Structure 1
Amino acid sequence: MDRPTALVPQHHVSLGARGPEDVVADAHGRVLTGAEDGRILRVHDVGDPRTARVELLAETGGRPLGLEPLPDGGLLVCDAERGLLRVDPVEGAAGTVRVLADSAAGERLRFCSNVVALPDGSVCFTVSSRRYPLEQWIGDIVEHTGTGRLLRLPPEGGEPEVLLDGLQFANGLAVGGGGSFLVIAETGACRLTRYHLSGPLAGHADLFATLPGMPDNLWREGPGGPIWVALASPRVPPLNLLHRTPPAVRAAAARAAVHAPYRPSGTIGVMALDDTGRTVRHLVRRRSGFRMVTSVCAAGDHLVLGSLREPGVAVCARPVAR
């Protein structure tokens, strides 16, 4: 892997709400995100701080995380409290919100994280933890529960099926290989996992890439573009050691962690990978004022960063193609 290059900040766009956990660009270059207060927002002209404008699309009544724009203008939303949703925007008003799935395998969906739509009409999405809710996410990272899941909702709806279980905090999700596989971010294992949708390995998973930090959301830049990865934190060597201890030790550490104040690292980073798992971009900024980057997308000549904690999005320079 090449040495990382500088991630260059340009400006910040305030949203009037905290926690734009996922950011995605639509076909018109507008940036969509969900906020801590349950609102789904669309940012126009994100590249120009003088004309940037924030528009309300919908209110989920929960905590929206991962988003997926649909060709028909709708929007899929993973809501950490309500499950898998569909939002249909309404011009000049808050759009309608419909629950597509709120349980799987006999359990309530309590921590849906990221979602993609497949050409056959099915929807795949991740559940980060079956043990910890969003507000206690650090407990799952510390305990290393391996209770994350990849699920699939068939085109006709109904009960989602479990495609993959035992994931270490399943998080971001992207389609790769022309639709032949999915890439899943396992935040707790600092890796990307590939799940094969077709071919001789269909239904099986293998390693796609090992990363220098904890991956969060993924965003695919068009069918032939790279998969962008947000690194929510660099690797934490003491955490790697803790993960080798007995389950009781990890559980005790997790109980302490959920009650301790979390101080995110001042080092932030994003990566871009091709369909072979090769790194084509690795951008880093140290001593950043914008902390805990949980998502990244490209909009025009800019990279837009989201965060679970910040009150807006950060806009950075997009590297020149090489």
Structure 2
Amino acid sequence: MKKNNMLLSVLMALVISFFSLTIMDYFSLYQSTEINGDEGGRLQQAFMNGGAIGPESFAFDGDGEGPYTGLSDGRIMKWEGDDIGWTDFSSVSPSNLLHDCRGSRDPKREDLCGRPLGLCFYKKTGELYVADAYSGLLKFGSRDKAATIVSKEAGGVPFYLTNALDIDQGSGVVYFTDSSAKYRRREFLSAIITGDSTGRLMQYDPTTKKTQILLSNLSFPNGIALSSDGSFLLIAETTTCRILRYWLQNSTFEVFSELPGFPDNIRRSPRGGFWVALHSRRSKLVKWLLSLPWLKKVFFYGSYVLPTSRIHGMVMFFKRMRNEGAMALRLNEDGEVIEVLESLGRRKMMLISEVHEMNDSLWIGSVIMPFLWRYKI
């Protein structure tokens, strides 16, 4: 049996080597400084400074300024408007590594440089909370340039892939996800393919400074959003392509929405409901393949033959061949689809991680691309 698994792994490696593009090759096919057919110039790309990639999630401060976003080299940047562009706000990297980390796109350096994912301001104090994939839940004071670790474990189990967060602006309680207890961020595709279900939903109370586990045994819990009245949380479970609703008063949960693709982040819309970014579609073929136990083993062993970035490149290669883009859905508070965002002008969205509606614009992020999209609605 072991020999068969190894044979299949080698076969998969050969297929990937022949067909796949690296992530760097892939996004170079989609980036451009001008976009034609964008409905009168409503769509713009805002490229990141300094060579880093991956504006995965966004936050706006108490004055409505921003967005702020985290990058692959540990920096957190702030958008200062069309005339100025992006400026450095802070970094989660250790002070002695700031220079060496700047501009890094290497996933193998993320545990050294940090990888800020979800972020949100507690507007009463001006504090910025950050879910760093490797260091846990961090906080920047209103005048701090260096982060403080406020939580790095729950129930005696360290966080392994801290991912997304939202804050109750009344109480200051922070809700956040730890996507896996087995796989690091750079191994996210392996976590999804193997069906890992060690993810957790947590809450951190800044008054007691205690972290509590609300839900466990989740299949790659990713994005999270608190309802406008504070009564429930929505959690994107990427592997199962669904949104869960967790009721805070009685600690129960239910399936809120079944989705046609793999969800990443969730954000409330000022017009009502929630924006859910779907990184990619889940076709019938993909659904069938992910149900095969032997294939999960092949990808598990194959991830040791080639890095996840190459496996991901293969997946993206075939999506491009099929002209398959990402999409975003706006759901109402009953889980019904009320708006679909599938393309911008003549251009399909690819590899998106978040849609954040603010200041009459949709800010669209990607954990892979070196830019974000801004679409004026």
Deviation sequence 1:109-154 (CA, Å, 0-9, x none): 1200111122333211101111110001000110011111101112
The answer for the alignment partner of 2:8 in structure 1 is none
1:159 deviation in Å?
4.5
The answer for the alignment partner of 2:291 in structure 1 is 244
Deviation sequence 1:51-72 (CA, Å, 0-9, x none): 2521222111211000111112
SS in 2 for 1:189: coil
d(CA) in 2 for partners of 1:7, 1:239: 31
Structure with a larger share of its residues in helix: 2
The answer for the alignment partner of 1:35 in structure 2 is 71
Residue 272 of structure 2: which of 216, 219, 225 is its match?
A: 225
Residue 212 of structure 1: which of 260, 272, 287 is its match?
A: 260
Query: What does residue range 92-171 of structure 1 map to in structure 2 within 5 Å?
Result: 95-118=145-168, 119-171=170-222
The answer for the alignment partner of 1:312 in structure 2 is 371
Q: Is the 8 A contact 2:343 2:349 kept in 1?
A: no
Structure with a larger share of its residues in strand: 1
Verify: 1:18 aligned to 2:77, yes or no: no
AA partner of residue 174 (structure 1): A
SS in 1 for 2:239: helix
1:89 deviation in Å?
4.3
Verify: 1:234 aligned to 2:291, yes or no: no
**Count of paired positions:** 301
d(CA) in 2 for partners of 1:278, 1:190: 15
d(CA) in 1 for partners of 2:329, 2:65: 20
d(CA) in 2 for partners of 1:166, 1:251: 20
d(CA) in 1 for partners of 2:190, 2:301: 7
Deviates more, 1:137-146 or 1:20-29: 20-29
The answer for the alignment partner of 2:16 in structure 1 is none
Deviates more, 1:29-38 or 1:264-273: 264-273
TM-score by length of 1: 0.86
Identity of aligned residues (%): 29
d(CA) in 2 for partners of 1:147, 1:161: 16
Q: Is the 8 A contact 1:29 1:300 kept in 2?
A: no
From the superposition, tell whether residues 211 and 29 of structure 1 become closer, same or farther in structure 2 (CA, over 3 Å): farther
1:272 deviation in Å?
1.2
The answer for the alignment partner of 2:133 in structure 1 is 80
Query: What does residue range 286-297 of structure 1 map to in structure 2 within 5 Å?
Result: 288=347, 291-297=350-356
Q: Is the 8 A contact 2:166 2:225 kept in 1?
A: yes
Q: Is the 8 A contact 2:122 2:172 kept in 1?
A: no
Q: Which runs of 5+ in 2 are unaligned?
A: 1-36, 94-113
SS in 1 for 2:329: strand
The answer for the alignment partner of 1:3 in structure 2 is none
AA partner of residue 222 (structure 2): N
Q: Is the 8 A contact 1:216 1:230 kept in 2?
A: yes
d(CA) in 2 for partners of 1:238, 1:146: 22
TM-score by length of 2: 0.74
From the superposition, tell whether residues 19 and 274 of structure 1 become closer, same or farther in structure 2 (CA, over 3 Å): same
1:285 deviation in Å?
2.0
Q: Over the residues paired in the alignment, what is the CA RMSD in angstroms?
A: 2.3
d(CA) in 2 for partners of 1:111, 1:293: 19
Query: What does residue range 268-283 of structure 1 map to in structure 2 within 5 Å?
Result: 268-283=326-341
SS in 2 for 1:250: helix
SS in 2 for 1:162: strand
AA partner of residue 284 (structure 1): E
AA partner of residue 98 (structure 1): T
From the superposition, tell whether residues 135 and 288 of structure 1 become closer, same or farther in structure 2 (CA, over 3 Å): farther
